[in-house]
Chains A and B, each alone.
Chain A
Amino acid sequence: MVSDMLRAQVDELAARVNGEVEEHLGELELTVHYPDAIETLTSVKNFSEVPCDFLHDLCGMDLEDHLEVVYQLSSLRGPQRLRIIARVERDNPVIDSATSIWRGADFLEREAFDMFGIQFKGHPNLKRIYLWDDFEGYPMRKDYVVESHEQRAIMRVRKEGE
């Protein structure tokens, strides 16, 4: 169940940042566009009575015509949960980094960058986290072509001193 206090504050915020609110499986979803993401997250963190100040998870999503960054928020001080979805352009996926709000967003944003190629502006160390540095492409995007291992029978060249 979504508390009325949280709903009222989310509605008020949605009107301010021009976002859409939906309820999905007993959880509020606030969809905004990428320029408003940082403002939204900062306000959500500072909600009175029901602050959503714990970044549970951050991941990327590919919806073919645009990309999304999904922030799963909750709090250590209450049962409230909130999901913020920031829409990002597919051709130029740039969004401000949330590391200034939560330091823990560091690795999560690197993962989203690794898998979807979303550029987080202001991230202290934006490079690949799971795949190796000279990997080409972003494998979790819908248009990534997976070749069979016979076609792709190339090995990484061992670097000197590795």
Chain B
Amino acid sequence: MSDLRYESPETIEAAVALLASEGQMAKVFAGGTDLLVQMKEELIDEPALLVDIKKIAEVRQVKIEPHLVRIGSAVTGAELGENEPLKAIWPGVVEAMELIGSAQVQGRATIGGNLCNASPAADSVPALIAADATVIIAGPDGTREIPVTAFPTGPGGNVLASGEFVVTVNLPSRPPRAGDAYLRFIPRTEMDIAVVGTGVSLALNDDGTCAAARLALGAVGPTAVLVEAAAGIMVGNKLDDGVLDALANAASAACAPIDDKRGTIEFRTKVAGVLACRAASIAWQRAENN
């Protein structure tokens, strides 16, 4: 790190200009809980420039508007956990962010960082995909919006081009009687990385049947995946045993995991089905109570 530079711009435009000036040699710096470890352990090429985005107002705010929630990309898990209005609307998204790391990491690790780091096991990503969240990206050509589903391109990879960074993660408006939930399996009870992660978001009709549903899985493939079949299984139905069995089968069928030290293909495939049912049940209960 012989010539590393550090800049902390206060506007989106200034950050884009700095990032574009160094291309791939520039790194966006927010919480640092992934980046500084990757630099120290030489897992990435030595950057020439760190662009600290935390002085940019837009990336540090949570704005709850009537039809949209904008979460700044540099808002931390601890801050989201303390945001009671947000927790009331999107408890699943918040509980996913709150599972990442220790209390010390929670105070630093950001939602944008979890997304950009693009670990297949990132906890926030299945919850955000289930929530049908989008990402607002600023770059040299202005801003663009893409669904979270399309953001990660593979382990450690994302769609950001040179000069681009994530400004906010946007969540859509919530109909009444809706709820979401995130569950993961880890061998310990705290401080671990998901073997399987499951996000569910759903809404109910007045007659108590499912009006809309999205199920997403993490750590069972190179990127988190939306289980397309889940909506067809749940919509129009109540959450009875037959629906739960079908949901479990659909979740397991959507898995394309690897064997690694945290879990085998067989185990992950089975657990994805189990967690899908449990997360759907929690989301359902929350929707009924809304």
* Same complex origin of A and B: no
A: which residues have CB within 8 A of B? Answer: none
B: which residues have CB within 8 A of A? Answer: none
